[in-house]
Structure 1
């Protein structure tokens, strides 16, 4: 797809984005003791987060839509992920339970603290995030997919909040 005509401003935008990412967990305060790295975050020495990809299939396109999100995981799972960070066998790990720590725009009810499973990928690849299969709109979109119209609606929402 080579762009879209925005229903909010009437302009033609050259590109329809298929990915958005949160720079930090929703709880990030940038306190002196907090640590924010590109893939990992620790807040107050007691809250642990990993970054991942929440993928939504796009039924009428050749590519998926992706939310870059943060997930709160247990201290044990956080340090287990660190221990296996560069190990190709990390893909053999069972999923890590977590809570979605990113409030995604356009969802009612909100997405903060949805139950998730974090699936590790080979070194160099971000984990895949699976939302608990409920009736929440995000879970439904991950399970059933979305359309290009929905991708455009997200683009317009983020371009014209």
Structure 2
């Protein structure tokens, strides 16, 4: 059951017309605006290279919403080895790429809503069909984000996240 009626924000008290079911981060944590002029650095909506030494792809940490069919997602960046990044690029537009083995990586996005740092959590990036971002599977630890991915979150938690994202402290 989707919560299409919006929500009353716990931070500002206003009614927001829509309850977002996901947020996306524009760049990996270590990206800096000065890299825009560096010829060995590039940032697109799906891939990032920094100084020809650090390689990232953007994917989705998907979290089931309990009591409905909705899925909440975090659009995050994962660092890959040079070889795995090269392979991901090689098959980026290839039909059937979802048959690829998952790529090991490190989460390179800090989600400040969590009490523990999310940067450098171990991940597996699962390639999906062309046009779909990879599914980012977190190592099954006791980190709150990993627990949420495994067990799901309530609509109250989705509203809590929305309030925190819309009105950062």
TM-score for the superposition, normalised by structure 2? 0.92
Aligned to 1:24: 27
CA deviation profile, 1:53-102 (whole Å, cap 9, x unmatched): 11000012321000000000000000101111111231111100000011
1:11 positional shift? 1.1
- Structure 1: 5+ residue runs without aligned partners? none
Aligned to 1:4: 7
Aligned to 2:159: 152
Aligned to 1:83: 90
**How far apart in 1 are the matches of 2:98 and 2:69?**
26
Aligned to 1:104: 111
Residue range with higher mean Cα deviation, 41-50 or 9-18: 9-18
Aligned to 1:13: 16
What is the aligned-residue RMSD (CA, Å)? 0.9
Determine helix, strand or coil for the equivalent of 1:151. helix
Residue range with higher mean Cα deviation, 143-152 or 53-62: 53-62
Flag as ranges the 4+ runs of structure 1 deviating above 6 A: none
**How far apart in 1 are the matches of 2:166 and 2:97?**
37
**How far apart in 2 are the matches of 1:152 and 1:129?**
23
Aligned to 1:64: 71
- Structure 2: 5+ residue runs without aligned partners? none
Aligned to 2:61: 54
Aligned residues: 161
Determine helix, strand or coil for the equivalent of 1:88. coil
**How far apart in 1 are the matches of 2:160 and 2:65?**
13
Determine helix, strand or coil for the equivalent of 1:28. coil
TM-score for the superposition, normalised by structure 1? 0.97
